[in-house]
Structure formats: structure tokens, C-alpha cells
Structure 1
Amino acid sequence: MLVDSHCHLDRLDLSAHGGSLDAALAAARARGVGHFLCIGVSADNAAAVKSLAERYADVDCSVGVHPLDIEPGSAPALDWLLGELDHPRVVAIGETGLDYHYQPEAAALQQQAFRLHLEAARISGKPVIVHTREARADTLRLLREAALPQAGVLHCFTEDWEMAKAALDLGFYISLSGIVTFRNAAALREVARQVPADRLLVETDSPYLAPVPHRGKANLPEYVREVAEFLAELRGVAYESLAEQTTDNFRRLFPLAHVRG
């Protein structure tokens, strides 16, 4: 069984499945995907991801505000984050983090919001899902400052081994998406070979970043199978072994998730 550890079910392009989320999830299940973590990115979609987790037994969710969704003067309040986390299907906080690629001018505001999420993670005990892009030093600095007692994950990892090793040393997991299959991702593949087996997750980040051979199309949770198969071959292990290992890792990182099987 596989777990899609990071997908945006409320944002999928469902045209390939007749506009039906039920059909899209059924297609994923038919390919061995047994669980889905639907990710919150804003105050506006918190209700939507919780509703989806309540609707499907094999879906859990997270809540948080993506760094690119933060507007000046509207950083999330700690009380709001803690209130949203107090729900039986919310198993993690995020995605949160830093993204200087698109908004370098918002670095201070993003850091403020990231600290709030990390404090909410410390209080709640729920793992944090971290987005980081062109903000290596500040991401690691804030994670070190937070000194969370529980693990978290750097999702859709695209950075170098030095950053991966630093995150692993902090107890974090590394999640890889379809980007690892891209022709220009040789450096990331070197990282993917080195991540310890017990710290590796797989994800789609759908509807974004569809893996080869679906690149250029809307991504779907069923395509986490392509990510896992590619990583298994890259790492020289059987697909079944990698699927079992990454599912065990997901259970360990997200102990409140309702994973069956």
C-alpha cells in the first residue's frame, strides 16, 4: 500500500475523471494508494480540507497558511491555528514555511507566520509540514530555534544534500514528489539516493508537478505510484519494499492518521 503524503484534493483538475473526486480517489485506490493527506494552505480552505477528511475514511488533513498565501497585516493568529488543529481528522499543521523565490520582499512576514505555526506545533504536539524554497538558511535556523520535540517533514524536497542532512539531524523526514522524475533533476536524484529508508515519504503535491510520463498534465493522487516506482528503481529496492517502508514512515510521522491496512 502507498500513501500520498501531500495532496490538495480541493484543488484537483478532475476532468480526467468526469469531474468526480470519488472517481479520482477510486482510481488511486485501484493503483494501491490506500491513504491521502489533504493539505491546508489558507484560512479560506481550512473548512474544505476538514470536510473532505470527514467525508472519506482514507483521507486525513492538515491546516495552516502557505507562505505565499500570507498578506501584509493578515498573519495567522496562534489562537486560530490551535482552534483549527483541535479536530480529530486534522493530523498535522501546515503547510507552512518560507518561499523567497516568489516573494523575497515578504521574508519578515513569512518568518513571523512560520514561527506561529511552529509554536502551534509545539503546543499541539502535531507534526509540521514545511515548504521551503530559496530560503535554506532561514528555514533551518527557525527549525533549530523551535526545537520541536516531535518530527516534521520537508515536503516536495528540491534542495541539496547539505540541507537534507541538516533537516534529518533535526529529526525531520524528507518527502519527494514527481520532480525527482524530471530530466533536469539529477542533483535531486543524488539526494534521493541518500535519504535514509526510514525517513522517506512520497507525495504528488497534486494538482501540481505531475511526474514523468504525465509531466505537463494536471497531477492526480494516483500518480504517486509513478513517484514510488521511480524511487524504488533509483534506490535499487523492490517497489513493494519501498511502498511498505514509506507507508510505515507515514504512520510513524503522523500517528493520529487513520491509516488502514
Structure 2
Amino acid sequence: MLIDSHAHIDFYDDPEAVLARAHAAGVGSMLAIGIGDGPSTMHRALDFARTHASVFASAGIHPQEAHQATPENLALLAELASDPKCIAIGEIGLDYYHLDNPDIPTQKAAFVAQMKVAAAARKPILIHCRTSELAKPEAKAKYEPADAWDDLLALIAEHWTPTGLPGVMHCFSGSPEQGRLAVAAGFYLSFAGNLTYPSAVGIRQAAVEAPADRILVETDSPFLAPIPHRGQTNEPAFVVHTAAALAELRDLSPEKLAQLTTTNFRTLFPTTQN
């Protein structure tokens, strides 16, 4: 059995059909990401999880919506985090890629505030980190010379590592060195469909080097469909392709990789074993 550790199930018109196709493909469980269209709808993933035994949920304010990390919305997040089916806070973090994203201080403040919510709830965090390296010139001018990874790791060291709680680097797209630093900070590396893309040399190297007990697989669906579905709408059933690519990189059978990543997920989220 595979577990999709990051899927936006509430983004689909027919999530029931998406879930059925996932189960048919051997994906026995998933973590539905609760960012919604912003804080007012971040409850949707949890609503779905409450009625589906194989689905768990997160809740969080995406860095693109960091300006909405108001006291009222943070209180709402804390309320959602108290639900046993909400097993993580996220996706949260920093995004220096899009020109219309909030400025750096606003993003940092929202990230720190949500780490505090997660620490109070004693639940892991799911990290979104996107740099300006490949952004359009206007966005690069807005965010550089700041580096999202450097800023992220510094904030984690100050505000998260002291809690002793773990987390997930969702859709890990960093360098092998950034992967090592993330693991040292207590994080798991979750690999998505971009692992299968020809240009993803650094991501594949990080996937090879990561400790066996710190790897997960995900779709980030409906985004980032893996080869052979690249360019299509992604969905949790397609995590089998990312898992197959990761298994080949690590010289494992698909069955062994599925067992390994499922064990890792359940170790990270113990309540999902029930």
C-alpha cells in the first residue's frame, strides 16, 4: 500500500471519484492538504477527512495568503488543529517566486505565527519553500538577494527545532545539501512528480542520499503530474509513478519502497495507525 502524503483533494470537482481511483491504484491512504482558497476555506480538507476513514487532513495558511494570517484566522487554525483528524499544520512556509505574493516580512510573520500554533497543538508542520531562482525578472527584483531556503532554515532553527517536533519538506525541490540540513533539523523529505522530470538532477541526488527512514512520496495533486502523465491534471492515483521512480533510484522493489514510505508516514503521524 502507498500513502500520498500531500494531495489537495478539495480542489477536485468530484473528490469521491478521485479517491476511488486512488484506492484502485493501490493508494490506501492520503493526507488532504487544508489550505483551501484561503483561510476561510481551509476547513474543506478536514470536512472531507471526517467522512473518509482513509483520509487525514492538515490545515494552514499558504505563504501566498500570508497577509491573511490575522488573529482571527490563526484562532480558526488552532481550532481546526484540535481535531484528531487534523494531523499536521500546513502547508506553510515561504514563497519568493510569484510577484504578487506578500512581502518577505509578512510571509515570515505568518510562518512564525503558524509554527507557534503547531507547537501548541503538538503537531508536525508541512513546509512549502519556493525560491526566486527561476522567477520572472520582476519577482527576482522584488525578493532577491534574499534566499527562501536560507530564510526558511533560519526561522526553523529559531522557532521550530527547539520544540522537538518533526515536519515534512513537501515536494522537496532543494539541493542535496539543503536536504541534509532539513533532515538534520528533524524533517522528512517528501518527493513529488517533479522527481521524474529529466531536469531534476539535484532532486534525484537528494532522493538517493536521504536516510531511508526520512522519505515520503506525494502527488501535490492536482499539480505536478509525474511522467508519464506530465501536463495532465495530477491525482493521488499517480503517486505510483513517483514511487516507482524513487524505488529505482534507491535500488528497491516497488513493494519495498511502498512498505518503507508507509512505515515512515505512520511513524511521523502515529495516530494514522489506528
Instruction: Give the whole-Å Cα distance in 2 for the aligned partners of 1:256 and 1:119.
Output: 21
**1:14-72 CA distance string (max 9 Å, x none):** 5xxxxx3222211111111010100012312222111100121101100000001223x
Aligned partner of 1:17 in structure 2 is none
Following superposition, the deviation at residue 122 of structure 1 comes to 1.2
1:121–1:105 Cα change, 3 Å:
closer
Between 1 and 2, higher relative CO (CA 8 Å, sep ≥ 6) is seen in 1
Equivalent in the alignment of 1:24: 18
Aligned to 1:107: 104
Matched-pair contact (CA < 8 Å) for 1:232–1:238: yes
In structure 2, the partner of 1:39 is 33
1:235 aligns with 2:250: yes
Greater Cα offset, 96-105 or 22-31: 96-105
The residue matched to 1:136 in structure 2 has which SS? helix
Aligned residue pair count: 251
Partner of 2:10: 10
In structure 1, the residue matched to 2:116 is: 119
Q: Secondary structure of the equivalent of 1:212? A: coil
1:198 aligned residue = 213
Q: Secondary structure at the match of 2:104?
A: helix
Deviations 1:161-193 (A, max 9, x none): 111111101111000000000111112111111
1:192-219 CA distance string (max 9 Å, x none)? 1111110000000000000000000000
RMSD, aligned α-carbons: 1.4
Selected match of 1:139 from 147, 152, 170: 152
Scaled by the length of structure 1, what TM-score is found? 0.92
SS in 2 for 1:26: helix
Aligned residue for 2:270, secondary structure, equals: coil
After superposition, where does 1:181-260 map in structure 2 within 5 Å?
A: 181-257=196-272, 259=273
Residue equivalent to 2:52: 56
1:3–1:36 Cα contact (<8 Å) kept: yes
Report how far residue 80 of structure 1 moved. Answer: 2.7
Q: What SS does the aligned partner of 2:117 have? A: helix
Amino acid at match of 1:111: K
Structure 1 counterpart of 2:198, which letter? R
Give secondary structure in 1 for the equivalent of 2:29.
strand
How far apart are the structure 2 equivalents of 1:29 and 1:80?
Answer: 31
With over 3 angstroms needed to count, the CA separation of the structure-2 counterparts of 1:188 and 1:220, relative to structure 1, is: same
Contact 2:168 2:187 in 1 (8 A): yes
Structure 1 letter corresponding to 2:112: R
Deviation of 1:105 (Å):
5.9
CA contact (8 A) 1:65 1:76 kept: no
Alpha-carbon contact 1:122-1:149 (below 8 Å) kept: no
- The corresponding residue for 2:170 is 155
Query: Which whole-Å CA distance do the structure 1 matches of 2:201 and 2:60 have between them?
Result: 31
Q: Distance in 1 between matches of 2:247 and 2:102?
A: 39
**39-48 or 130-139: which moved more?**
39-48
Q: Which runs of 5+ in 2 are unaligned?
A: 132-147
Cα offset for 1:81? Answer: 2.3
**Structure 2 length as normaliser, TM-score?**
0.88
Tell whether 2:196 aligns with 1:177: no
- In structure 1, how many angstroms separate the alpha carbons of the residues matched to 2:105 and 2:15? 38
3-state SS, counterpart of residue 175 of structure 1? strand
Q: Which runs of 4+ in 1 moved over 3 A?
A: none
Question: For residue 209 of structure 2, what is the amino acid of its counterpart?
Answer: Q
Determine the C-alpha separation between the residues in 2 that align with 1:181 and 1:76. Answer: 38
CA contact (8 A) 2:66 2:102 kept: no
**What are structure 1's unaligned runs of at least 5 residues?**
15-19
